[in-house]
Structure 1
Amino acid sequence: MMSANEYEGFAKALDARRVTLRTSPEEYKAAHELPGWYEALKPLTPESAWTQGPDLAGLDAVCEQLGSGPAVLRDHVKSMKHYWDEAAYIPDVADRETVQRVARRFLELRDDAFTGGFVLRRFEEFTGAEARTWWIGGSCALVTPHPDTPDQLPDGLDLVEVEPLVTDLGLPFVTVDLVRRTDGAWRIVELGDGQVSDWPTSRDPSDLVTALF
C-alpha cells in the first residue's frame, strides 16, 4: 500500500516515461486518507475528528470536539482493529488517560507506517458482515463481500443515499465499505482507493478486470 508521497513519486516517474495514471496523486490522496473524503460522506459515516501529525497533546482538542462517549482511534489511513482493546477502542473520550494510553500503543504498533495524524471516530453499533462496493467513474460497478469475511455478503444493500455522495467526490476508482447499523441504517465504514483495496478470495478477479476495461 503506497503512501500518498510514494504514489506521487510513482506518478512522476511514469510521467517521465509518457505514462499517465488513471488516478492522479491528488485523487489518490483524497481517497486514501480519511480527511480527503470525510466531509463529502459525513451524513452516512460515523462522526470523526483528527489531528495533523502524531502529537499526543493534539488529541485533547479532538476529544473536545466529540465530547464524551465511545470512539475508535486510527490514523488518516488505517486502524489497528486487530488490537481492539489496546490500540483501537476507547470506552469514553472524556477519559483522557485512556485516550493517551491507547494512542501511545497505536503509535508503537503503527511505527513508521503512521500516516497523517490521529483520527477519533465515534463508535457505532454495527451488525452483520460488511459489503465492499467498487466504484468506477462515480458509478457502482461491483458489490462483493469484504475481504475479512469473503463468504458473507449482507442482504438488502441500499445505495440510494450513498451513490450521489460518492459520485460527487469525482474520484476515478474507489471502494466503499458499508455495514448495517443496529437500527437498520446502512453506514459507510471506509472509502479507499481501489488500487490498494483487497479483493475477496471468494470472487473471481476477472470480474474486476472486466469492469475496469
Structure 2
Amino acid sequence: MVHSGEILRTLIEINGTVCVAYHKTNFDIYDFDFRQYFETKPVITNTTLPVVLRIGAISAYENLANALMELDLRLVNSVRQHSMASLLPNWYPKIKEFTARSVWYDTLPTAEAILAEFTFPVFIKGERQTNRHNQAMSIANNLAELENILNYWKQDNVLGWQRLICRDFIKLEKIAERVGDKIQPSKEFRIFLWKNRAVGVGHYWTEFEKVELTVNERSHIIKLAEEISKMVDVPFLVVDMAKKEDGDWIVIELNDAQESGYAGVNKLQLWQRIVDIEDGKDNVKP
C-alpha cells in the first residue's frame, strides 16, 4: 500500500494542468512514464490542481483522501465518487437499463436463493471484480457448478470479503476461442472519461488480435459512455462495454479510472487529451 508521504514524493505537475501521483507497478498495462512525454515538475507545496492517483490498486481510499486533504491536496474523485465507480451495488441502480440485470447478497447466499432469482447459466462476480476472468469460477451452467463456486467463495481471500453478485448471462460477440480456463473473449472496449468527456477508447482483450470498431460503433459507444458518466457523476471514470450477439451494446462494468489498466487505449493520447481539456480546448476527441 502506498501512503500519503510516498505520494507527496512522487507528485508531479503535468503541463501546469493536472497533478499525478505515480508509483510504478511493473505492469505495462498500467504504467506510463509521464516525464518522458510531458513537461513535468515536482509539486513541493499545496496545489489547487486535481490530483490523480496512478499507484495501482488502492485499498483504503478514504483514509488516503483524508490524509491528502489535510495537506490541501484534492483527489480528482472524491471518496463518494470512488465508491460509486468501484462498487456495482452503487452504480447499478443508476444505469441498470444499460447493463445486465444484477442481484447482490450481503451474506453468501445458498444455491436455492440464487435460483429463486435466476435460471442457468448465471454469471457470478464480486462487487469489485470478477474472479481473475476464470470461467469455472464466474459462470454456473448447472447446480453442481453453482455449488462449486459457492464453496470456493467461502475459502477465497480475494472474493470472500466482497458481496457476491449474480448477473443475467448475456451472450456476447466473440472475437476468439477461449484459452484455458479464461472467460470467452468478446468484442469489448474500455473507455476512459475525464469530466464526462471520452479521452480514450481501446480494445479490452489485448492478448488477442486487435479488434476494430466501425465509425458508427465508435460514435455510439462514446456517446453512451459519456451519458453514463453524467449519470454516475465520477470525474475520472472507466466504462467497459461489449457488443452482444444480437448487435446491441451493453455496459459490462464501471471503475475508478485511477485504478484501471489502459487495456488497448493509447496512453499518450489519453493524457494529452486530459491536458488539453484542462487547458480549455474544446475540440478534444478520442
TM-score tier (shorter) = 0.7 to 0.9
Q: How many residues are aligned here? A: 202
Aligned with 2:236 (options 173, 177, 185):
173
Q: Which amino acid aligns with 2:252?
A: V
Task: Say if 1:39 and 1:171 are closer, same or farther in 2 by CA, change over 3 A.
Answer: same
Aligned to 2:131: 80
Aligned with 1:104 (options 125, 141, 151):
151
Q: Which amino acid aligns with 1:25?
A: V
Aligned with 1:139 (options 197, 203, 221):
197
1:65-110 superposed Cα distances (whole Å, 9 cap, x missing partner): 33x221111110011153212x111114xx3x5423212213434x
Distance (Å, rounded) in 2 between the aligned partners of 1:47 and 1:145: 24
Distance (Å, rounded) in 2 between the aligned partners of 1:8 and 1:151: 39
SS at match of 2:117: helix
TM-score normalized with structure 1 length: 0.84
Q: Which amino acid aligns with 2:93?
A: E
Please show how residues 1-213 of structure 1 align to structure 2 within 5 Å: 1-3=57-59, 6-53=60-107, 55-57=108-110, 60-66=112-118, 68-85=119-136, 87-92=137-142, 95=143, 98-109=145-156, 111-112=157-158, 114-127=160-173, 128=175, 129-146=187-204, 148-149=206-207, 151-156=209-214, 157=217, 158-159=220-221, 160-200=223-263, 203-213=265-275
SS at match of 2:100: coil
Shift of 1:135: 1.1
125-134 or 162-171: which moved more? Answer: 162-171
Distance (Å, rounded) in 1 between the aligned partners of 2:122 and 2:61: 30
Greater helix fraction, Structure 1 or Structure 2:
1
1:91-142 superposed Cα distances (whole Å, 9 cap, x missing partner): 14xx3x5423212213434x15544300001111101321111111122222
CA RMSD, 1 decimal? 2.2
SS at match of 2:167: strand
TM-score normalized with structure 2 length: 0.64
Q: Where does structure 2 lack aligned partners over 5 or more consecutive residues?
A: 1-56, 176-186, 276-286
Q: Which amino acid aligns with 1:100?
A: E
Shift of 1:195: 0.5
Q: Which amino acid aligns with 1:102?
A: I
Distance (Å, rounded) in 1 between the aligned partners of 2:123 and 2:77: 30
User: Is contact 2:193–2:226 with CA below 8 Å preserved after alignment?
Assistant: no
User: Is contact 1:76–1:115 with CA below 8 Å preserved after alignment?
Assistant: no
Of structures 1 and 2, the one with the larger relative CO (CA 8 A, separation 6+) is 1
Tell which structure's C-alpha radius of gyration is larger: 2
SS at match of 2:120: coil
